[in-house]
Amino acid sequence: MLDSGRYLLQHSQTQPDGWVCTDRENGIVCRFTEHQFNETQNTTFLEDVPNPNPLAIARLMREMGDWLASNHADIVIGGENKSAKFQIRIGSIEQPKECIDCSGLEEAIRVYREKMDSFPQDKIHLVKLI
């Protein structure tokens, strides 16, 4: 179990290669398969949320994904991605003010963490290039 205060990350009790990340401040639970966060995430709420705001949920899920990528990339990004090309985007993810190309997961995580000290978390993004 990995506890950051806001987020709680733990192994799934029902899926051998599964993980559960809980945003305790907002009552969001995300289940995903190890190394396949983007492909397998399944989101639910701890309590019934009447009329959830889709934009707010999307922002909260992006924040969770950013936290997972910066603190637990070895869990959310697959081993086959260790040599993949990544890009750090500063500003908007679609129209960034700055892009930094990285060769491999380790370099991308190192650069991402360095940049986190200078920019708000919602202005820095780790993107795998296809």
| Per-residue burial over 71-92, b = 16 or more CB atoms within 10 Å of its CB, e = otherwise | bbbebbbbeebeebebbbbbee
* Residue pLDDT, tens place only, 82-109: 678 889 999 988 899 999 999 887 788 8
* Residue pLDDT, tens place only, 5-20: 899 999 999 999 999 9
Q: Are 18 and 12 contacting, i.e. CB atoms less than 8 angstroms apart?
A: yes
* Residue pLDDT, tens place only, 67-81: 898 788 888 876 666
Token pair listed for 81: 């991605």
Amino acid at 118: S
Q: Is the pLDDT score of 24 beyond 80?
A: yes
